[in-house]
Amino acid sequence: MPQIYAIDQAATFERVLWLSSEPKTRFGSDDQETTKDGVPKWEVQLVASFRQFGRSTNEIIKVGMTSPSWPGPDLGPAEPVQLVGFEIGVMDKKNREGQVVGAQVWYRCQEVRSLAATAPRGKSAEAS
């Protein structure tokens, strides 16, 4: 049974940058996976920067998400992003005999937002 943890992106990473997104496909097939409700699954690739032993380290991470449309059509290469509902899952990795041989880690989020985008103006801002 996996253990799932919410990630505080601002406290964990110095920055998260957009790379790309692709349909998540079934193993050995070109067919895109979907949820039980038929919503397409996507795999988003990002660069996550964090401090380790006093130095900045960059890792490419793959984050799973569901969306009715392709995520990131307005995002440019290396654009800073926020991952809404960002979680990490950890579960035992077992061999064919069922023995634990390590851990399997995966990431998922609900939405990817540009940090460069401006928020819509509220009525109070429009009135001034």
**Count of residues in the chain:** 128
pLDDT at position 66 is 97
Query: Does residue 94 sit within a domain?
Result: yes
Domain-located, residue 124: no
| pLDDT (tens digit per residue) in 28-58 | 999 999 999 999 999 999 999 999 898 999 9
pLDDT band, residue 120 (cuts 50/70/90): low
Does the pLDDT value for residue 126 go beyond 60? no
Structural domain range at position 72: 3-118
Residue 128 has pLDDT above 60, yes or no: no
For residue range 7-16, what is the model confidence (pLDDT) as tens digits? 999 999 999 9
Determine contact, residues 14/42, Cβ cutoff 8 Å: no
In-domain check, residue 42:
yes
Domain contains 86: yes
Q: Is 9 helix (H, G, I), strand (E, B) or coil?
A: helix
Strand order across the beta sheet in which 87-94 lies:
3-6, 87-94, 100-108, 55-66, 41-52, 15-23
DSSP state of 123: H
In whole angstroms, what is the distance from residue 48 CA to residue 24 CA? 20
Q: What pLDDT score was predicted for residue 18?
A: 97
Q: Would you state the pLDDT for residue 117?
A: 63
Within a domain: 36: yes
Q: How far apart are CA 59 and CA 83, in angstroms?
A: 16
Which pair of tokens denotes residue 54?
Answer: 């006093």
What's the structural domain count of the chain?
A: 1
Kindly report, residue by residue over 76-106, the tens digit of the pLDDT. Answer: 999 999 999 999 999 999 999 999 999 999 9
Q: Is 44 helix (H, G, I), strand (E, B) or coil?
A: strand
pLDDT of residue 115 exceeding 60: yes
